[in-house]
Amino acid sequence: MAAKEILELAPLDLFWAYGALLLAAALAWQCRIGQARDLLWGSLRMVLQLLAVGYALRWIFAARHPLPTLLMLLVMGGFALQIMVGRLRHQLPGFYRIVCLSLFAGCGGITLYFCLLVVVPSPWYEPRYLIPLAGMIIGNSFNGACLAVERLVAEMTERKAEIETALCLGASSRLACQEPLRNAFRAALLPTINTMAAMGVVFLPGMMTGQILSGTDPLIAVKYQIAIMCAIVGSVAFTSALLLLQAYRAYFTDTHQLRY
């Protein structure tokens, strides 16, 4: 059917699309905000990474074996961890351990739950489902985790005197930093909540748009988008909560004294 034909983009089409990014870089250079080079370098990195992933996915889809699929998920998680480290200006003791455990348990647990109980592909490691779904879950979760850690660090620094006073009055470390934990968790969830509030009315999300462009019935695309957004919200919340519950302890000794 003609409705299901996919319009393939030629190299010239991508060249014209790249013009929009060059416009952004030119505006950044003209305004002297110091991000023109970052935009150009980021775009080059994006193109190379996506081409590499495209060829890798072709091979993984053809192989239809769990080992390449799981290896791809580990690579995605590793890159997410490295990007997160680069974005954070302040790191906590045991940072890698805390983030690895949180991402593995939060993202891995929700992805497994989603694939086994919601989508139920056959076989369970079907890469056409598992890899894109895990990618969306990991990407959103690590963004939420970054916001949570940054907010926690800021709150613990700004409220140091308040926390020390609470500790002197007999409060436990968990009770003393209850407000910083709440604010950090709120910061992690806020972007996802805002996205859900605007979805469908203000903009069509990427997954749904991609399915529609590929010829999928819009109602089927909507159902998938609702399901994946529920998974993303759960993963952001679970991952951020696990990270914060481990991270705040790094500020205290075993006797509930501030280390910093």
Distance (Å) of CA 249 to CA 136, 243, 258:
29, 10, 10
pLDDT of 189 reads 93
Same domain, 32 and 72: no
Same domain, 47 and 97: no
pLDDT band at 88 (very low <50, low <70, confident <90, very high): low
Same domain, 241 and 180: yes
User: Is 93 a residue whose pLDDT tops 70?
Assistant: no
Higher pLDDT, residue 32 or 136:
136
User: Is 3 a residue whose pLDDT tops 80?
Assistant: no
Number of domains observed in the structure of the chain: 2
pLDDT of 1 reads 40
Q: Is residue 13 part of a domain?
A: yes
The phi and psi torsions of 127 (rounded to 5 degrees) equal -65, -30
What number is the average pLDDT over the span 85-106? 77
Structure tokens at 176: 């003393």
Of 37, 63, 89, which closes a domain?
A: 63
Structure-token match 């998680």, residue found:
77
Please tell me the total number of residues recorded for the chain in this structure. 260
Same domain, 150 and 164: yes
Same domain, 91 and 48: no
Q: Is residue 259 part of a domain?
A: no
* Percent of the chain residues topping a pLDDT of 70: 95
pLDDT of 4 reads 56
Same domain, 191 and 244: yes
Same domain, 46 and 90: no
**Residues 39-86 pLDDT 10s:** 899 899 899 989 998 999 999 988 888 899 999 999 888 888 887 777
pLDDT band at 172 (very low <50, low <70, confident <90, very high): confident
Of 47, 63, 79, which closes a domain?
A: 63
Of 33, 63, 93, which closes a domain?
A: 63
User: Whole-number mean pLDDT of the chain?
Assistant: 86
Q: Is residue 257 part of a domain?
A: no
pLDDT of 187 reads 93
pLDDT of 162 reads 87
CA dihedral 47, 52, 58, 60 (to 10 degrees): -140
Same domain, 23 and 152: no
Same domain, 103 and 17: no
Same domain, 47 and 75: no
Q: Is residue 82 part of a domain?
A: yes
What number is the average pLDDT over the span 192-202? 86
Q: Is residue 260 part of a domain?
A: no
pLDDT band at 230 (very low <50, low <70, confident <90, very high): very high
* Pairwise CA distance, residues 96 & 239, whole Å: 14
Q: Do residues 130 and 69 lie in contact, with contact meaning Cβ atoms separated by under 8 Å?
A: yes
Q: Is residue 76 part of a domain?
A: yes
Domain that holds residue 13: 1-63
Structure tokens at 152: 């926690």
DSSP single-letter state for residue 139: H
Q: Is residue 28 part of a domain?
A: yes
Same domain, 160 and 52: no
Same domain, 10 and 135: no
* Pairwise CA distance, residues 40 & 18, whole Å: 10
* Pairwise CA distance, residues 203 & 186, whole Å: 23
